[in-house]
Amino acid sequence: MAGVLALAYKLLVNDRAKFAGLLTGVTFAVFLMVQMTSMFAGILSKASATIINVGATVWVMDHAVNTPANSIPMPDYVLDAVRSIDGVGYAVPLYSGVGLVRLRSGAYQAVTVVGLDDTSLFGRPELLEGRIEDIYAENGFIAIRDEEFSKLENPSVGTDFEINDNRAVVIGIGQVASSGLFGMPTLYTTFNRAVQYIPSMRYTISYILVQPKSPAAIPSIKREVARLGYDALTQEDFMARTSVFYKYQTGLGTNILLMTAISFLVGLSISGQTFYTFILENLDKFGALKAIGAKGRDLVAMILFQAGFTALAGYGLGIGLCALLIALAKIRLPDYASLITFGNLGLALVMVLVIAAISGYVAVRKVLTIEPFDIFRG
């Protein structure tokens, strides 16, 4: 069998033009599939940035909340009720809203304002400059150094600006695990200051962050919160709800699915047609092998090897090309939302194997019906 596969390899790469055409079709199909799904994965990751950065074990929210950016304020009694539930270690409020900053240059910039619990500062970012204690000073804010930091004109500790006609002072520069999706810089401050600075409705608590005494207490906490008329979601549950919203309740998921399907069809049509042409041009060689005693399973093994080798080589080249372009894009566009995950790689591998299987099946049918007599007579 090793000799048969070696012969199949030589037949495949002997015609470099045809082999290059096969590789090109599969490579660009994989590139497009991985690129589309990676963009979607990056968008979902950025959409859950607040969940990832705060890092709370359980989030309490209104039933209608689908994403962290669309919070619905809750009354203060919900916080007291949650704190009284058995199994709750502690519970703190979180404010999340949008403010309008007037910079020193006179330009205006929308920002995401996160208000942390005044007592614990639970969910605070890691500070690169400044002291966390200064957040209690008058007008104190922490600016997050991420892809959107330059939109605040690269402030330093001590820089002041106006936010909704209130004076604000940068007392620290922080960093977080993930930047947001909508291209707005992020400022952290205390809960009471955020409520004071950002116009809001009668209720002011966006979320309640709960730390259970043990993981075993989470189901009972969820049941008790449900009796209050609200949802209690773990970090993973909240991220999953956000993903479901963007996949099925917006046009984003449908568009990505269509582009991925088109990429698959393009790769299938190019590689299938090219591989079939390759088989037709080498029918005399397969007929000669059959005439000297090669069995049908040997010919099938040769074709499947050729299809599989081409598919896997194109898969590797497509992944490499996609990773290279994403890296270059992030150098020039730091907020570019694209993330290659194991799920993306697995999906692309399955689809490229399907391409190889269909192309191989078409070729196998043609080769198995060949008669050596017809080849030699020609």
- What pLDDT digit, counting tens, does each position of 162-175 carry? 998 889 999 999 99
Does 373 score more than 60 pLDDT? no
d(CA 145, CA 185): 8
Does 290 score more than 80 pLDDT? no
Q: Are residues 218 and 266 in the same domain?
A: no
Q: Are residues 263 and 316 in the same domain?
A: yes
Using pLDDT thresholds of 50, 70 and 90, give the confidence band for residue 370: low
**Cα→Cα distances 360→22, 270, 356, Å:** 12, 13, 6
Record the pTM. Answer: 0.75
Which residues does 243 contact at the CB level (< 8 Å), separation at least 6?
Answer: 44, 47, 48
pLDDT digits (tens, 9 = 90+) for 196-222: 988 877 888 999 999 999 999 999 999
Report yes or no on 62 lying in a domain: no
Q: Which of 229, 261, 284 is the last residue of a domain?
A: 229
Q: Which of 229, 261, 286 is the last residue of a domain?
A: 229
Q: Are residues 219 and 257 in the same domain?
A: no
User: What pLDDT sits at residue 69?
Assistant: 83
Report yes or no on 26 lying in a domain: yes
- Residue 228's closest CA among 60, 87, 57, 51? 60
Q: Are residues 223 and 270 in the same domain?
A: no
SS3 for 236?
helix
**Cα→Cα distances 192→51, 189, 211, Å:** 21, 9, 21
Report yes or no on 152 lying in a domain: yes
d(CA 130, CA 171): 6
Report yes or no on 225 lying in a domain: yes
pLDDT digits (tens, 9 = 90+) for 257-282: 787 778 777 767 777 777 777 777 77
pLDDT digits (tens, 9 = 90+) for 132-161: 999 998 889 999 998 888 889 899 999 999
d(CA 265, CA 278): 20
Average pLDDT value for residue range 350-375: 72
Q: Are residues 212 and 287 in the same domain?
A: no
Average pLDDT value for residue range 217-244: 93
What's the DSSP call for residue 102?
Answer: E
pLDDT digits (tens, 9 = 90+) for 68-87: 888 899 999 999 999 999 99
**Position 12, amino acid:** L
CA dihedral angle for residue 12, residue 16, residue 17, residue 18, rounded to 10 degrees? 0
d(CA 93, CA 356): 54
Q: Are residues 310 and 341 in the same domain?
A: yes
- 141: which strand partners? 170
pLDDT digits (tens, 9 = 90+) for 84-102: 999 999 999 999 988 889 9
Does 378 score more than 70 pLDDT? no
d(CA 221, CA 84): 10
Q: Are residues 94 and 201 in the same domain?
A: yes
Angle of the 296-332 helix axis to the 251-281 helix axis, nearest 10: 140
Q: Are residues 257 and 223 in the same domain?
A: no
Pair 170, 141: CB distance under 8 Å: yes
Beta strand 186-190 pairing with 108-116: parallel
Report yes or no on 238 lying in a domain: no
With b meaning 16 or more CB within 10 Å and e meaning fewer, what string describes 61-99? bbeebebbbebebbeeebbebbeebeebeebbbbbbbeb
pLDDT digits (tens, 9 = 90+) for 12-62: 777 777 778 778 878 888 888 888 888 888 888 888 888 988 989 999 999
d(CA 275, CA 359): 7
d(CA 67, CA 240): 10
Q: Are residues 107 and 204 in the same domain?
A: yes
User: What pLDDT sits at residue 138?
Assistant: 85
Q: Are residues 186 and 268 in the same domain?
A: no
Q: Are residues 90 and 161 in the same domain?
A: yes
Q: Are residues 172 and 129 in the same domain?
A: yes
Give me the domain span that covers residue 271. 2-46+251-377
Count of domains for the chain: 2
Report yes or no on 240 lying in a domain: no
Report yes or no on 61 lying in a domain: no
| Top-confidence residue, 170 or 288 | 170
Rg of the chain (C-alpha set): 29
Report yes or no on 184 lying in a domain: yes
User: What pLDDT sits at residue 217?
Assistant: 93
